[in-house]
Structure 1
């Protein structure tokens, strides 16, 4: 055996050779095709619809809980002032009775020699007793109400804390989804940042009255970015856009797609009988758009896109029905 050479078992030599051989591109995980990436994005968008609406629901629930607590807390403060005032009145009455009791008591009046003074004293006692009883009753009722509202306020605060935690969880899910969507959109080179200052486009369709006012507002938002949880003016999500648009048309819609669909329970119309201004809902109620007439809709699609007008046939989502505000 030549000097410096060491015999290596065949199996060990093969393993060492494999470790030292650079990994070729052929063994790396292949990149998805354009079609695969688009399909993945479509699935992400469908998931995002549901996640964003859950976030919006939690956000609305948190706002209601916070408002309820603020109202009860304000009432609690008012009642606390009332109870404090009644307590002060009762203390003053007790002090007065103690200081002047010898004059106004039954013992003091029994020895009155003047009949007129005696009658006057009796009237004063009756009045004082009635006033004292009324004050004690008012104090008792106010104290009971104070205790009740204090407990209600504590419950409302606890509810607000729970919904705040729920909101934080839903926001974390939405943030994660948006990150995944944005990454894939950038890889496909189709991410649209939008312009928060966009002046939109003019609505020239056939709608009239409230529907026209709603569509004019929605068209004026074209080009602004989709933003989950967005209620304007620089960014919108689907339900936030339509809520604001119809507010401009004089109709108060709820905030989320689920609430809007429920609100429209008695206003549903056939998808074959759409009129400009109608709200069109996707299956699962994760997305809503507005019919603009001539087979077109205006909507805020999803992350990485902008408020736009597109043919209804290009909607890309299965439809469940429509509502006419």
Structure 2
């Protein structure tokens, strides 16, 4: 059988030899290109990036949640460990007190003490001595009880501190796992963005822009803060001042407005359970949450929002219609 583009060969040629001959006559391919997939089109790359961004929202949210759990567990451990140290000092003090009382009793001698009391000529001295012994016994019993209770509390505190430390270690491991996932996702996002020529590094020292809208009071202060961050890079887990993620930016913005928001989007949504407002009744400063609670932005007014979008982008003001995510609801702090 003739191979197109090759001279005809007559006679039988072993299959292996024939294949080797074809391989030699075909143009050589660069190493690694033989099975290389064709580069995605711009439309395909954008679609893939959109999917990556949705996945990244969820991964970053899990990372932030793990971070918050670890911080709380670490704070609890430190508090309990501080109480443990104080209780240890109290027990040590009571122990010294008991030792001193025991030494004092030994030096006086129980029998010798009684002998000295009953050989006194004045009965009033005897009665006074007996009262002193009774008082010493009562004080000793009181100290023993105090020591016993303090020791029990010490054991409880130590057990609680150990449990808190173990919990903190567990959350630290969870945090490390989520961070590894987020790092991998970020690399994939950056690679695609660079291929599309859409990667924006941002400026950690960006002066931002001035808010000139109609908001007043706390909402105005929150928006002024958010606008001052425009141009700074998105950074997952970022709480400023040089980089932000979505919930970190809004937490800081509303802190400037005098309102204390939780750290993560899930917590912010839960915190606002009694503050929910319709998406048809938005006011400047309202928090707008995406479906799945992976992203949150702040309504500016006039159909615009300010937010920290995703890796490879910067804090910016955009039209809500260009948000690119399905919305689940809004909260008014």
TM range (shorter): over 0.9
Structure 2 residue ranges without an equivalent (≥5): 1-10
Aligned residue number for residue 15 of structure 1: 19
Q: What is the RMSD computed on CA atoms of the aligned residues?
A: 1.6
CA drift of 1:31 comes to 1.2
Farther off after superposition, 130-139 or 223-232: 130-139
Query: What is aligned with 1:284?
Result: 292
Relative to structure 1, the CA distance from residue 293 to residue 94 in structure 2 (aligned partners, 3 Å threshold; closer, same or farther) is same
| CA positional deviation for 1:104 | 7.4
Q: Given the alignment of the two structures, is residue 93 of structure 1 paired with residue 101 of structure 2, yes or no?
A: yes
SS in 2 for 1:134: helix
Corresponding residue of 2:311: 303
Matched, 1:261 2:261: no
> Alpha-carbon deviation of 1:113?
2.0
The answer to whether 1:145 aligns with 2:150 is no
Q: Distance in 2 between matches of 1:115 and 1:255?
A: 76
Greater shift, 96-105 or 52-61, is seen at 96-105
User: What is the CA deviation profile of residues 38-62 of structure 1, one whole-angstrom value per residue up to 9, with x for unaligned ones?
Assistant: 0000000000000000000000011
Counterpart of 1:168 in structure 2 is 176
* CA distance in 2: counterparts of 1:22 and 1:292, whole angstroms: 60
Return the match for 1:84 from 82, 87, 92. Answer: 92
- Structure 2 residue 112 is the aligned partner of structure 1 residue 108: no
Please list every run of at least 4 consecutive aligned residues from structure 1 whose deviation after the TM superposition is greater than 4 angstroms.
Answer: 23-28
Asked whether 1:209 is paired with 2:217, we answer: yes
Deviates more, 1:103-112 or 1:77-86: 103-112
How many residues are paired up?
319
Taking structure 2 as the reference length, the TM-score comes to 0.92
Indicate yes or no: 2:64 matched with 1:59: no
SS of 2:232 mapped into structure 1: coil
TM-superposed deviation, 1:127: 1.4
Shift, 1:107, TM fit = 4.1
Give the secondary-structure state (helix, strand or coil) at the position aligned to 1:191.
coil
> 1:136 matched to which residue of 2?
144
For 1:26 and 1:82, locate their aligned partners in 2 and report how far apart those are by CA, in whole Å: 76
Give the match for residue 218 of structure 1.
226
Task: Give 3-state SS (helix, strand or coil) of 2:292's partner.
Answer: helix
Q: 1:101 to 1:29 in 2, by over 3 A?
A: same
- Cα distance between partner residues in 2 of 1:283 and 1:102: 80
Alignment of 1:68 with 2:76, yes or no, is yes
Instruction: Give the structure 2 partner of residue 33 of structure 1.
Output: 41
The C-alpha deviation readout for 1:224-283, integer Å capped at 9, x for no partner, is: 000000000000000000000000000000000000000000000000000000000000
Distance 2:265 2:28 in 1: 50
* Match of residue 246 from structure 1: 254
3-state SS of 1:322 partner:
strand
Q: What does the per-residue CA deviation read over 1:287-309, in whole Å, with 9 as the maximum and x for residues that have no partner?
A: 00000011000000000000000
- Measured in 2, the distance between the counterparts of 1:26 and 1:126 equals 99
**Residues 23/36 of structure 1: CA separation in 2 closer, same or farther (3 Å cut):** farther
TM-superposed CA distance for 1:23, in Å, is 5.3
Residue 12 (structure 1) shift: 2.3
Which of 129, 139, 143 is 1:121 aligned to?
A: 129
Q: Distance in 1 between the 2:308 and 2:112 partners? A: 79
Deviation at 1:14, TM superposition (A): 3.0
Counterpart Cα distance in 2 of 1:168 and 1:203: 38
Distance apart, 1:124 and its partner CA: 0.6
